[in-house]
Amino acid sequence: MLQIESLSCFRQDRCLFKDLNAKVLPGQALQIVGENGSGKTTLFKILAGLFEEYDGRVITAAGSLYLGHRYGVNDQLTPVENLKFLLKLNEIQLAPGLLMDALARFQLSAELDQPCAALSEGQKKRVALARLILTSARIWLLDEAFSALDAPGRAVLSEVCQAHLASGGILIFSSHQGIPEFAAAAQLRLEVGS
Amino acid sequence: MMLLLRELKIMLRSPAGAIQSLMFSVLVIALFPLAITPDPDQLEPLGIGLIWVVTLLSCLLAADKSLAGDYADGSLEQMVLSDYPLWWVCLVKSMAHWVSCALPLLLMAPILGAMLAMPLDRIVWLMASLVLGSPILSLFCMLGAMLTVGLNQSSALLPILIAPFLVPTLILGTQWATTGGEAFYGYMLAALLCLSLVTLPFATAVVAKIAVSR
C-alpha cells in the first residue's frame, strides 16, 4: 500500500503542491498528471525517498523502484553489465539467461556486447526498463517512463506494468502521452502555482 | 566489491581521465627543470615537494569528473536508493578516484624522482609518504566532488573549497619524506589517514543525499 497524507512541498519559496492526498492499494495504478513545472518529478523523488523537505506524510508498505528522467544507464558498460549492476544494487542475483530474456523482451538482443554509448536514447531507456521485469520491488515509480519509446516499446512496457498490477503490485506513473491501457487509472492532478 | 569492479571497468574503457591527470603531472615535472635550472644540486631538494604538489593538484583537478558521469546518467540516484550502505558507495568512489589519479603517479614516482635528480633513498621515502598521504587526498576530493556535483560552476568551486583541507596532509607528507622518516610526522600522517577513513565516507554519504535531491 502507498498512502499520501496532506503532502505539501515548497521549493525556493514557491509552493509546488499543497495538501495532496492519495491512497493506492495493491493492484492499483495512479497517474500523476500536471503541466511541465508542476512538481511531478519532485513528487516522485519524495515518494522514492530522495527528497525529504516536505510537510505531510508518505506511508509506503513495500520496497519501491524509482525510474526517473535519468535512469542510471552508464555509457561505458554494455546493456547486460548495466542491468546486472542495477539489479545488484537491490541485491538481486540472477542467472545470465534471465537477464538476456528481460533484455530480449524489450527487443534488445543485437546490441548486447557493445557499450551503451552506441545505443539510441530509446534503447538505453529499454535497458533500464528491463529491470522492471526482474525486480522484486512492489511499488514502481515511473516518471515519464513512456517517453522516448517507440510504439512497440510502449506496448511492451504497458504489458509489463499490467502484469505487475495483476500480481498485486502498485504503479505510480506520469506521462504526457495518453496510455490507453491505463486510461481508467486514478489520477492525481498537480496545478502550476496552486 | 561489485561497485569497485564496475568503477574499474568504466575507468579502463574510458582511460582518458586517468591518462590526462598522469600526463599533467609528468609534464609539470619534465618542464620544471627546463624553466628553473637543470643543476642537480638545486633540483634535488625541490623534488619531494614538487611531486607532492603535483599529486595534490592532479587529484583535485580530476575530482569533479569522477562523479559528473554518475550524476548525469542517474546512477548516483540509484546508488543512493540501493540496499548498499551509502558510506560504502562513497568509500568505493574514493578508492576509484585514488586508483585513477594517485596510483599511476605513485608507480611513476621513481621515474619522476630520477627526472629531478633525487637519490634512491629519498625516492623511497617519497613513495612511502604518498602511500600514506594520497588516500587522504582522494577521500577529501570525493567529499568536495559530492558537495559540488550538479552545480553550474562545480569545477571552479571545488578546488577553492577543498584545497585548505588538503594542506595538513601536504605538510605532514612532505615533512615526513624530507626528514627521512621522522617518527612524529609519520605517526601524524597515519593518524590523519585513519581519521579520514572512518569519518569522510560518512560525511560524503550525508552530502550525497543532498546532492541527489537537488
State mean pLDDT over B94-106: 94
**Domain limits, chain B:** 16-212
**A171-175, B153-157, B173-177: range with lowest mean pLDDT:** B153-157
Torsion of CA B178, B181, B182, B183, to 10 degrees: 150
Digitized pLDDT (tens) for each residue of chain A, 194 residues in all:
889 988 888 888 888 888 888 899 999 999 998 888 888 889 999 999 898 888 899 998 888 999 988 889 999 999 999 999 999 888 777 777 888 889 999 988 887 889 999 999 899 999 999 999 998 889 999 998 888 888 899 999 999 999 999 999 999 999 887 777 777 778 888 877 64
Q: How many CB pairs under 8 A join A and B?
A: 65
Top residue of A16, A89, A127 to mutate, by most chain B CBs within 10 Å, is A89
Residue of B nearest to A68 (CA): B74
Report the gap between the CA of B10 and the closest CA in chain A (Å): 6
Mean pLDDT of chain B: 93
How large is the ipTM? 0.90
State mean pLDDT over B95-110: 94
In single-letter form, the type of residue at position B131 comes to: V
Top residue of B71, B81, B100 to mutate, by most chain A CBs within 10 Å, is B81
pTM score, two decimals? 0.91
**All domains of chain A in start order, with CATH:** 1-63+139-194 (3.40.50.300), 74-137 (no CATH)
Q: Which residues of chain A does B82 touch, with a Cβ-Cβ cutoff of 8 Å?
A: 89-90
**In this structure, what C-alpha cell is assigned to residue A86?**
542495477
Residue A193: its pLDDT value, please? 61
Which among B132, B124, B150, B131 is positioned nearest to B67, based on CA atoms? Answer: B150
Q: What HEC string does chain B produce?
A: CHHHHHHHHHHHHCCHHHHHHHHHHHHHHHHHHHHCCCCHHHHHHHHHHHHHHHHHHHHHHHHHHHHHHHHHCCHHHHHHHCCCCHHHHHHHHHHHHHHHHHHHHHHHHHHHHHHCCCCHHHHHHHHHHHHHHHHHHHHHHHHHHHHHCCCCCHHHHHHHHHHHHHHHHHHHHHHHHHCCCCHHHHHHHHHHHHHHHHHHHHHHHHHHHHHHCC
